[in-house]
Amino acid sequence: MGRLAIWIVFAVVLLVLPQIFDSVLSLSIFTQMTIAIVFALSYNMLLGQGGMLSFGHAVYFGLGGFLAVHAMMMIEFETISFSITLIPLVGGVFGLLAALFIGSFSTHKAGTVFAMISLGIGELVAASSLILVSFFGGEAGVSGDRTYGPPFFGIDFAQDDHVYYLAAAWMFFAVLCMYLFTQTPAGRMANAVRDNPERAEFIGYSARRVRFISFAMAGFFAGIAGGIFAVNYEILTEENLNAATSGRVLLMAYIGGLGFFIGPIVGAVVLTLINSLLSNYTDLWMLYLGILFVLTVMFLPRGLTGLLMMHRVAWQLGRMRLLLLPYTLTAIPGAVFVLGMIAMIEMSHAEEAEFVYLGLALSPDGYGSWALLFGVTAAAFFFLRRTLPRLREAWSEANTLPRLPRQEDGHP
């Protein structure tokens, strides 16, 4: 019943969120999140669940999206007639067809071979999209209008909140299906093949067929994400199926945590926030995203979700209190250090003579400002070096108990 409760809470949150944060910006961010969540989870069916590193997952997102826009245009010109609410399914079906075709030869091997084929296919499709103008619309892309077709219970999706609820409903459906897939024989064998493809063959399964099924599923759900994108933005361009989009979905899944079902959801939420909020404040947000990714790979191989899950033992032992003070003591110099580094990065990038940062007027041309920032950052670093060992001590104290029963791994 615990599981069911989680799903109910999830649905309620989706319904209530736009009532609490009701600005145009937040609504737009929520819709972006739904798209990112479906896309990132579909990606994790390959990487986290199936052990297939893809550099071209945007192909299925993009192709699904393009077909969805074309379907919207056909509804507009009354070539076909069905409700706009089904557009994401059109994207899904086309993503599935594309994945069935490409997966038939790319899933033969995992590892480098698979990664290189995915990269090649990604480049191929992105390049063709600029050449095949009649379908992809060249540089300008193709655009449609979601307000045509038979209205859905009187709703014509002219308003953004209607689009959000449609997107959230599809997202809920897709997340549920992807979760259930992990609980089926095919889903579990995908994990087995990820762990040890050779052994899988000796218990009666073709590793290739198992990968193919995961790949097709991943294509289907990526296509659904593309379809939701098409309904929301009413335009698709080459950018939606190129390597940058493929790279972004990899970052989402990885930063969130590949080993957990909710990992990519966390990653999608965090990256959407960075993407849409941080980009208002700085041109350099991509740099910070890159740094976040590198730090995750180096220090948090299980992602942000893994970082949270690390605290499970201390939580169950009721020892979170032990960590509170060391965390605070580390967080203060830590925050100063990070802010100092950001200030220096931003200042080196500033073009005006005066650079305002956190209410401070700094001058990029003067030695004084640089010396101040450098001094503060260095001091923070010095303090951080002293507080970290204490945090480590507190951590081991909070997590050790004589003869602690072995913890179950959070792996799917």
Partner 1 sequence: MSLLQLHNVCKSFGPTQIIRDVSLNIEQGEKHAIIGPNGAGKSTLFHLISGRYKVSAGEILFKGAPIHNLEPFEITRRGLARSFQVTNIFPLLSVFENVRCALLWSMGYQYSFWHLLSRQTALNDRAEALLEEIGLFERRNIPAGELAYAEQRALELGITIASGAEMILLDEPVAGMSHSEAKNAVALIRKVTEGRTLVMVEHDMNIVFDVADRITVLVYGEVIASDVPEKIRGNPRVQEAYLGETPHA
Smallest gap from Cβ 194 to partner 1, in A, equals: 8
What is the nearest approach in angstroms of partner 1 to the Cβ of residue 408? Answer: 5
Residues forming beta bridges with residue 361, ordered by sequence position: 356
Site residues for partner 1, 243-272, by CB under 8 A, read: none
Report the nearest approach of partner 1 to the CB of residue 217 (Å): 7
Instruction: Give the closest residue to 243 by CA, choosing from 124, 133, 105.
Output: 124
CB of 411 to partner 1, least distance (A): 5
Instruction: Give the x/- contact pattern for partner 1 in 166-205, rule: CB under 8 A.
Output: --------------xx-xxxxxxx-xx-xxx-xxxxxxxx
Q: Which two tokens stand for residue 337?
A: 């250090």
Residues 213-232 that bind partner 1 (CB under 8 A): 213, 217
**Which residues face 169 on adjacent strands?**
none
Could you list the beta-strand ranges (E) of 141-267: 142-143, 235-236
Q: What are phi and psi of 64, to 5 degrees?
A: -60, -45
Indicate the residue among 179 and 288 with the shorter CB distance to partner 1: 179
What is the C-alpha to C-alpha distance for residues 6 and 173, in angstroms, rounded to an integer? 14
Q: Are strands 235-236 and 142-143 parallel, antiparallel or unpaired?
A: antiparallel
Among 283, 351, 352, 408, binds partner 1 (CB under 8 A): 408
Q: What are phi and psi of 145, to 5 degrees?
A: -140, 125
Q: Tell me the closest approach of the beta carbon of residue 96 to partner 1, in angstroms.
A: 13
* Residue nearer to partner 1 on the CB measure, 41 or 241: 41
Q: Rule CB under 8 A: is residue 209 a binding residue for partner 1? A: yes
**Shortest spacing between CB 302 and partner 1, in angstroms:** 12
One character per residue 32-71, x = contact with partner 1 (rule: CB under 8 A):
----------------------------------------
| Least distance between partner 1 and beta carbon 109 (Å) | 14
Q: Which helix (H) or strand (E) holds 304?
A: helix 303-309
Smaller CB separation from partner 1, 16 or 180 = 180
Residue 157 or 212 having the CB closest to partner 1: 212
Token digits of residue 408: 């179950």
Report the C-alpha gap between 47 and 303 in whole angstroms.
Answer: 14
Residues 44, 50: Cα–Cα separation, whole Å: 8
Q: Which is nearer to partner 1, 403 or 406 (CB)?
A: 406
Between residues 78 and 198, which has the closer beta carbon with respect to partner 1?
198
- Helix 243-256 crosses helix 24-46 at what angle (to 10 degrees)? 90
Nearest to 129 by CA among 246, 242, 263, 251: 242
CA distance 121 to 60: 11
**Do 170 and 88 form a contact (C-beta atoms < 8 A)?**
yes
Span of 98-106, 134-142, 359-367, 403-411 interacting with partner 1 by CB under 8 A: 403-411
For the bound state, the minimum distance from the C-beta of residue 210 to partner 1, rounded and expressed in Å, comes to 7
Distances (CA, A) of 243 to 57, 90, 110, 249: 9, 23, 20, 10
Select 1 or 361, whichever has its Cβ closest to partner 1. 1
Nearer to partner 1 (CB atom), residue 164 or residue 212: 212
| Residues 229, 34: Cα–Cα separation, whole Å | 9
- The distance of closest approach from Cβ of residue 176 to partner 1 in the complex, given in angstroms and rounded to an integer, is 12
3-state class of 155 per DSSP?
strand
Closer residue to partner 1 (CB): 154 or 204: 204
Least Å from the CB of residue 54 to partner 1: 20
Closer residue to partner 1 in complex, CB, 200/241: 200
Q: Which residues contact 185 (CB under 8 A, 6 or more apart)?
A: none
How many chain residues interact with partner 1 (CB under 8 A)?
31
Q: Which residues bind partner 1 (CB under 8 A)?
A: 180-181, 183-189, 191-192, 194-196, 198-206, 209-210, 213, 217, 406, 408-409, 411
